Structure 1
Amino acid sequence: MGKSSAELSISSTNSTPINDSNSDSYDVALNFLKTHAKNINVEEQQNYELDVNNQRKKPKALLRKLDIYILPFMCAVYFLQYLDKSLLNYAAVMGIKKHLVGNQFANLGTIFYASYIFGEPFISYLLQRFPLSKVLSTCIVLWGIVLAAHSACHTYASLMIVRVLLGILESASAVSLISIGTMYYTKSEQAERIGYWAIQSGMGLIAGGLLSFAFQYVHTTGFESWQILFLVLGCITVVFGIFVWLYLPDNVTNAWFLTDEEKTIVIENVRSNQTGVENKIFKKHQIKELLFHDKFTWLLVFTTIVSQMITGALGTFSVSVTATFGFNNKISSLLQLPTGTIVIICILASTHLVSRYGNLTLVHASMYVPSIIGAVLLIIDSKVKISNLIGLYLTCSGSSAITMIYTWNSVNTAGYTKKVYRNAMTLISFSIASLIGPQLFQAYSYPRYMPAKITILVTQICAIPLSLLIGYLSKKENEKRDRLAQEEGQKDQVENIEFLDLTDIENKNFRYLY
C-alpha cells in the first residue's frame, strides 16, 4: 500500500508533470511544496522504518511535537462535546424531570440528534469553504453559550429550543477532528490518534458522573443543582472555544509551531495516504461519486445506524436504567464511572490493535461480541444487581465501535470534498441511530424496558456481518486494482498525484485499509 522512500520525494524523474493552469483546485500541500519546500534528502529517508501499512514513520521528535500541539485540542474538543451533550442524562436524576411529563425527557434526547442531522451538511460546507479552526472555534463558543442558557430554562418548550441549537452547533466537532487527523498523520497514526480523542467519550462519562454527584450537593436560592451544572460547563466551553480560535492552525501549511522544513516532512509523510491535506474548492462531482458511484457509502450508513442505536439509547437513559436496578439517584450517577473506564479500554485496545497489526475488519466485528452478551444479561433481568450492572457495562463495547467507522472513513476516503461529506454522512447516520435510541425507552415499558433491550440485542448481532462485508469488499477492490496494475504494466506516473485532490475511485494507486 505504501510507497518506497525514494518515491516520497517531492518530484520524480519518471513522472508526468501536472498542468499548473488549474492549480487552485489542487491540495494546499502541493502549493506549499512548490513555493516553500526543497526536496528532502532521499538518502536520509531510506533509514526510516515502515509501519504495518508500509508507510514511512515520522521522526519521533516530530511526531511528539504534533501530539503535543495538535492532539490535546482534538481530545479537548471531543471531551467537551460529549460531556456537554450528555449533561441531560445526568440532569435526569438532578431534578430536571420534575419539569417534564410522559415521554418529554426522551423527546429532548431525540431532538438533539434531529437537529444534529439538520446541521451537519451546512456545517460541513462551512468547514470546507472557510478556515477549519475558525469555523470550529466559533461553533464551540456558540454551543457553550447555548449550554449555559439551559440554566434559564424551566419549561419543555424552552428546553426543546436550546437542545435544537446545541445539536446544530455540536455537529462541527467529530467531522472536524477526522479532517484534522488526515492532515497530520499517516493511516496507522490516524487509527491510534482517533483512539486518543475518541476515548474522551469515556472520560466524559467519568467526569459527568462525578460532576453530577458533586453538584447534587450544591444548593442556592433560585437555582437548582442541574441549572448550576449547565451554567458552569457552558462558561468553560466558551473559554475553550476562544482558545481554539487563537491557537489551533487551519492545516499543516500554517501550523505556527512547525518550521518550513518540518511542514515539508509532515506533508511528505502523509503523501502515501493518497488523501491529500486540504482543499477549499467545493467539487460537486465528488459528492455525486459519494452518493451514486461508491459501493461503500450506503453500506456504511446502514452499518452505522444499526450498530449505534445502542449509543443513543444508553447515552440518554443509562443513569435511568441503572436506577431501575435498585440504586438511589446519587449512586446511579457514580455507577457511570466504570462505564467511562470500559469505553476507554475498548477504544484504546481496538485502535492500538489496528495501528500495530492492521486487521481493521476483524477488530471492528469483534467489538460487538461483548455487547451481545451484555444485552442478553439485561434481557434475563436477574434480581442480582451486579449481574445487571455487568450487562450494562458490556454494552459499552458495541457503542465504542463507532471509532472503527471513524477510522475507516479517515484512512479509506480520498478527495477533500468527498471526505468531508462522507464524515458528515457518518455523523448524520450516527445521529439517526441516536435519535431512534431514546425512543426505544417508552414510558409504558418502565421499569424493565424490554422492547429497548431486545432491539439492542438484535442490532448488535446484525452489525457483525455488516462490518465483515465492508472488509470483504475492500479486500476485493484492492485485489482488482492490483490485477489492473499488473495488466497495464509500468506507466509514467503523474507527478504529485497524491495532492491533486483525486478521490479514492479516481486514483487507481489508492488502496483500502481493511
Structure 2
Amino acid sequence: MSDSVHASTVLSSTNANLSNASLDKAIVYLEEHADASKDGADEVDLALLVRKIDRHIVPIALVAYTLQFLDKLDLNYAAVMGLNQELKMKGNDFNNAASAMYIANLIAELPTGYIVQKVRPGKWLGINIIFWGVVTAATAAVKTYHGLIATRVMIGILEAATAPCLMLITSMWYTKSEAILRFAIWYCGLGIAQMLGGLISWGFQQVTREALSGWRIMFLVLGCVTATAGVWALLCMPDSPMDVSWLTEAEKRAAIQRVRVNQTGIKNTHYKWKQLRELVVDPQIWLLTFLIVVTSLTSGVISFYSTTLIHNFGFSALRSSLLNMPSGAVSLLSCLATAYLGHKYDNRALCMTVFCCLAAMGSALMSFLPASQRAGLLAGIYLVNMQTVTLFLVFCLTTANVAGHTKRVAANALINGAFSLGNIIGPQLFQAKDAPRYIPAKIVLLVTQIATAVIAAALRVYYGYQNRLRDERERKEREAGEGKEVVVNIEWLNLTDRENKTFRYKY
C-alpha cells in the first residue's frame, strides 16, 4: 500500500485538511505493519528493548564524540610538542589555525541542516567520520602554516555532521526523560578526550626521531583510529527505528510507540519552509543560540589553550600535558552529575546556571591570582571545565523542545553553527601581545560565564511561562465547554511546538 493511501487512512480520523506530506514516516510504517500487532508487540519488555537500543547507539555516539574532541585537542597538544616551531608559526598564526576549523564548520552547518533531513543520518555520520580521519592523518604531512590551515578547514567541514546527526538519532530513539542521560554519556567524550589526549601527548613527546616528529606521528595514529571508527559507524549506527535489522517487527513498533510522548516525531523528509519562518521568530531559538555562543567561548579555551596556559604557569611541556588530564575528569564528572540532577529534579536550566557560576569562579581564580599561586591557577583551569555541561544541556533542550522535523533539523544546525561561532571568537581572545598570562581574555571569559548563567535562568522563565499560558488556555476552554476535540495521532503530524497546543516544554 502506498504512503498516500496510509495518509488518507490516518487523516480520516484526524483532520482532512492536513497534507499527506505532514505525516511522519513512523505513522506510515505503523499503518503498513498494522498486522504486526498480532505478533506480541504489546508484550515487548521495554526495559530490555531500551538496553538493546543502548548497545547499538551509545557506544558509537561516545566514540564519535570522543574522537571529534581528540581531533580538536590534538592541535592544543601539538602546540607544546613543537608544531609552532616546525611550521615557523608566529604572532597569531596558531589562533588563526584554531579559528579556521570553526569558520569552515560554521559555513558547513548551513547545508548540513538540509542534508541531514534528506539522508540516512547514521550513514552520513559514518562517511564524514571516515573522511575527517583521513584528513587528520594527512596533517602529519603538512610542511607550512598554510598547509595546516587547509587541513583544519577540511576537518571543520567534515565534523559539521557529527552533533546534528547524533542529536537527531538520539531524539528518534529515546524519550525526553531518557535522552538527558544518553546526551550526557556521549558528551562525556569531551572529558575522555581530555584525559586520553594528555596521555597521548605525553607518550608521543617521548618520540625523538628526527625523521618524523612526535606530533606528526600523533596526527597519523589518531587519523587512522578515527577512520576505523567511521567504518564502524557507517556499518552499525542505525538510521531510524523503521530501518534496522536487529529489531523484530514487534520491537520496531514498540520502539516507535514509546517515543510518541515526545511529540517531536521521528522522520519526515518533506521540507516545510513555514517551519523555517517560525524558527526565525521563535524566542527560545535565539535564547538557545545566544547561550551557545557565549558558553562556547570557554570551549575554545578547553580545546586549544588549556595546555598552553598550564605551560605558561611554569610547568614543562611534558608535565603540562599530564596536568591537563584532571580537566577531563572534571568535564566527565560534571556531565554525569548534571545528567543525574537534571533527570531527578527535571530542571536542566537550573543545572546550567549553577555550573556556569562554578566555572565563573574558575575564571576569577585564573584572572586575579598572582602567578606564584600555581595551585590556585590550576584549580581555576579545572573549574572552568564545569561549563561544558551547558553544551550538552542545550542539545537536550533543543531536541526536547523544538518540534516539526524541518524546524528541528534547522535548529540543530543553527545551534551547532552558534557553537562554531563561539569557537571562532574564543581563540582570538588570546592575543600574542597578552602572553603569557592572557589576563584580558580570562576576564572576558568570566563575564561570558556570568552571562551564560543569566541567559539559562531567562530560558527557564520563558519555558515556564509558555507552559502556564497553555495550561491556562486549556483550563478556560474546558470550563467554558469549548475544548477542542483532541486530534488522533497529533504527534505524527509534523507539527511544530508552537502549532501543537498540547505540546509542553521541558526545562
Unmatched segments (≥5 aa) in structure 2: 1-8
2:333 equivalent in structure 1 = 345
1:425 paired residue among 414, 418, 421: 414
Higher deviation after alignment, 163-172 or 360-369: 360-369
CA distance in 2, matches of 1:362, 1:240: 35
CA shift for structure 1 position 486: 2.0
**Length, aligned pairs only:** 491
Partner AA of 2:440 in structure 1: P
**Secondary structure class of the residue paired with 1:89:** helix
1:240 to 208, 221, 229: 229
Mapped pair 1:33 → 2:30: yes
Residue 403 of structure 1: CA displacement? Answer: 1.4
Question: Among 6, 13, 16, which residue is 2:13 paired with?
Answer: 16
**Alpha-carbon separation, structure 2, partners of 1:408 and 1:155:** 42
Given that 2:36 and 2:249 are in contact with CA atoms closer than 8 Å, whether structure 1 keeps it comes out as no
Q: After TM superposition, give the deviation of residue 126 of structure 1 in Å.
A: 1.3
Query: Which one is further off, 193-202 or 483-492?
Result: 483-492
Superposed, 1:445-460 pairs within 5 Å as 445-460=434-449
Secondary structure (helix, strand or coil) at the match of 1:448 reads coil
Q: How is 1:106-505 mapped onto 2 (pairs within 5 angstroms)?
A: 106-292=95-281, 294-382=282-370, 383-489=372-478, 490-505=483-498
| Residue type at the aligned position of 2:247 | L
TM-score, scaled to structure 2? 0.93
Render the CA deviation track for 1:161-195: whole Å, top value 9, x for unaligned.
Answer: 11111001101111111111110000010011000
| 8 Å contact from structure 1 (residues 16, 492) kept in 2 | no
Secondary structure, in 3 states, of the residue corresponding to 1:419? helix
Q: Which residue matches 1:63?
A: 50
Aligned to 1:5: none
- Determine if contact 1:37/1:264 at 8 Å carries over to the other structure: no
- Deviation string 1:296-336 (CA, Å, 9 cap, x unpaired) is 12122112112221111332110000011110000100111
Give yes or no for contact 1:188–1:354 (8 Å, CA) kept in 2: no
Deviation at 1:417, TM superposition (A): 1.1
| TM-score (norm: length of structure 1) | 0.92
For structure 1, the 5+ residue unaligned runs are 1-11, 49-57
Matched AA of 1:357: Y
**Alignment correspondent of 2:502:** 509
Contact persistence 2:41–2:251 (CA under 8 A):
no
Partner of 1:75: 62
1:33–1:450 Cα change, 3 Å: same
Change (3 A) 1:61 1:20: farther
* C-alpha RMSD of the superposition: 2.2
Deviation at 1:494, TM superposition (A): 1.8
Moved more, 371-380 or 307-316: 307-316
After TM superposition, the structure 1 stretch with the greater mean CA deviation from structure 2, 58-67 or 25-34, is 58-67
Q: CA deviation at 1:155?
A: 0.5
In structure 2, how many angstroms separate the alpha carbons of the residues matched to 1:221 and 1:359? Answer: 54
Shift of 1:77: 1.1
1:95 corresponds, among 82, 85, 106, to 82
- Structure 2 CA distance for aligned equivalents of residues 250 and 19 of structure 1: 30
Structure 1 residue 39, shift from structure 2 partner: 8.3
User: 2:71: which partner in 1?
Assistant: 84
| Structure 1 letter corresponding to 2:501 | K
Post-superposition CA distance 1:480-513 (Å, at most 9, x none): 1111222233432222110111110111110001
